[in-house]
A = this chain, B = another copy of it.
């Protein structure tokens, strides 16, 4: 199974335009810069990382506000891999797509996994020298009350 499912820049901006129009929001310069920085990032990113990548030209509060906005319109996912900081990543074309990560318990190093087979993933990780493996499966969606 091919897992290169990230939104392209065009797709992302297209979605953004629709969402903006749908709720009377605006495409401002900071908003554009933040999305571009997010798209450029190969790894999951935090507000602080975007802030640094934009060389502090955009206010941190604005970045927090926009990452939340992007999250609400489904442009990014929240990942939050056992960290103390909120971590996001660019959304996938297929919302049902799986998200696989490896996280080191000691240094926090995060790596997005390319394969989608749990067995193959584990074997691949072992080959790479990762030890003491365990994994966690998390479902998200809407519960019947929502």
Q: Interface residues, chain A, CB within 8 Å of chain B?
A: 78-84, 86, 95-107, 109, 113, 118, 121-122, 125, 128-146
Report the minimal beta-carbon distance from A145 to chain B, rounded to whole angstroms: 7
Residues on B with beta carbons closer than 8 Å to the beta carbon of A84: 86
Measured CA separation A125–B139 after assembly (Å): 9
Q: In the bound complex, do residue B140 and residue A107 qualify as a contact, i.e. CB atoms below 8 Å apart?
A: no
Q: In the bound complex, do residue B138 and residue A132 qualify as a contact, i.e. CB atoms below 8 Å apart?
A: no
Q: In the bound complex, do residue B144 and residue A128 qualify as a contact, i.e. CB atoms below 8 Å apart?
A: yes
Q: In the bound complex, do residue A103 and residue B139 qualify as a contact, i.e. CB atoms below 8 Å apart?
A: yes
Residues on B with beta carbons closer than 8 Å to the beta carbon of A134: 95-99, 139-141
Q: In the bound complex, do residue A133 and residue B141 qualify as a contact, i.e. CB atoms below 8 Å apart?
A: yes
- With A80-B80, A80-B83, A135-B98 already in contact, the answer to whether A125 and B141 are too (CB < 8 A) is yes
